[in-house]
């Protein structure tokens, strides 16, 4: 069983960056297949590796201040001209 990818910090960093940029899984898979061809890739494999590195598309660790900033921006947009 090939587990070299588990210790590949570059792989983890790249996956994190692609998710933070909100790329779709298929797009990330294309980049991974190109840049990390030494590892086997499929959508299922990508999902398992994201899970292994604890990389998620939804960030539940949002501060109260961030929520308040978003609410304020929405209210300003609703009350704006137009």
Q: Which pLDDT score, from 0 to 100, does residue 65 have? A: 85
Give the range of the structural domain holding residue 35, as residue numbers without chain letter. Answer: 4-79
Domain count, the chain: 1
**pLDDT, average across residues 56-68:** 79
Spatial separation of the C-alpha atoms in residues 36 and 30, rounded to whole Å: 10
Instruction: Give me the chain's average pLDDT, please.
Output: 90
pTM of this prediction?
Answer: 0.69
Cα angle 36, 32, 14; round to 5? 90
């Amino acid at each position: 069983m090939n587990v070299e990818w588990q210790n590949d910090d570059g792989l983890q960093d790249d996956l994190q960056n692609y998710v933070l940029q909100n790329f779709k899984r298929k797009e990330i898979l294309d980049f991974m297949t190109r840049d990390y061809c030494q590892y086997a890739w499929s959508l299922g494999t990508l999902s398992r590796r994201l899970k292994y590195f604890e990389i998620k598309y939804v960030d539940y660790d949002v501060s109260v201040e961030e929520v308040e900033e978003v609410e304020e921006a929405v209210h300003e947009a609703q009350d704006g001209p137009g």
